[in-house]
Structure 1
Amino acid sequence: MNPNVHKTLVMQLQAGATERFPVLAHLSYDADDPFAVTAVFSHDGHVLARWRLDREMVLDGLHRPVGMGDVRFRPVSTGVWEELRMEFLGDARSDGERHHAVVFAWAPAVESFLRQTHEIVAPGQERIEVDHFLAEVIAEG
């Protein structure tokens, strides 16, 4: 079985109070990093942002509001359409404020991606090679 899952979704980036425009989100999962999902957002061939997300937090965000820091998720229902609202706070801007983005994803597509990751590493079965982890931490240090 392939220890990786990749899925590209069209999501909606909210610009301003109500306007949205489409962006591509390249989601990936690697069994060697079992707790994380990577999301790369792009538009017109340019990478807008790359986030490493907690897989369990993404799943929880489909059902209830989660997150208190730089990343927050919550379900949004329009009655017909089920979405995952993802809010990201980034680095400081020159005006002292922080970069801020809100992205909406079709919830069933995110759920499908997560189901594929669970087929590779089931929730609660995640393991990390401690020696490999320590080597990475020391190398980054």
Structure 2
Amino acid sequence: MDFPGLELKIRMSLMADPDSHVWVPARLYYNKTDPYAVQFSFDVTPDHVVQWTFARELLDQGLTAPSGIGDVKIAPIDQNRRFSIELESPAGYACLGGPAASVKAWLNKTFEVVPAGRESESVDIDSFLDELLPH
């Protein structure tokens, strides 16, 4: 049986400014075919979904200490009960907050599927090269 991946659906607060926020559906997805990465998406509207891919290690570190430079920054808030994720690109900026416990539990499941430090064992180099090289 092929591994379908692990998905977590949560509600996160999208902070429009320091004094207001809206609740948005968000999803985290992990698949061992891309073992170093986590896909994250949230719905701005039903027709506008923002999608990001970043390192699983960044998410893991960011749940306990501020992590990341550049486009993605993740940090614990509220004594590690919640976390924030800041996303920045030429297309815009978003800051979201969400529950840390459910994300930690989901992340632990990803480490059961592919343990930290063993990600390279899940990468199919031959298939990757076949996609890159002309036949």
Q: TM-score range by the shorter chain?
A: 0.7 to 0.9
TM-score, with structure 2 as normaliser:
0.86
Contact 2:44 2:50 in 1 (8 A): no
RMSD: 2.0
Query: Does residue 69 in structure 1 map to residue 70 in structure 2?
Result: yes
- Tell me which residue corresponds to 1:123: 116
What is the percentage of aligned positions where both structures have the same residue? 31
> Please, which of 95, 99, 103 is the counterpart of residue 110 of structure 1?
103
The aligned length equals 131
Q: Which runs of 5+ in 2 are unaligned?
A: none
Contact 1:11 1:25 in 2 (8 A): yes
- Tell me which residue corresponds to 2:24: 23
TM-score, with structure 1 as normaliser:
0.83
Q: Which runs of 5+ in 1 are unaligned?
A: 93-98
Residue 21 of structure 1 and its aligned partner are, at CA, apart by 0.8
Query: SS at 2:95's partner residue?
Result: strand
- Mapped partners of 2:12, 2:111: distance in 1: 22
Residue 137 of structure 1 and its aligned partner are, at CA, apart by 4.8
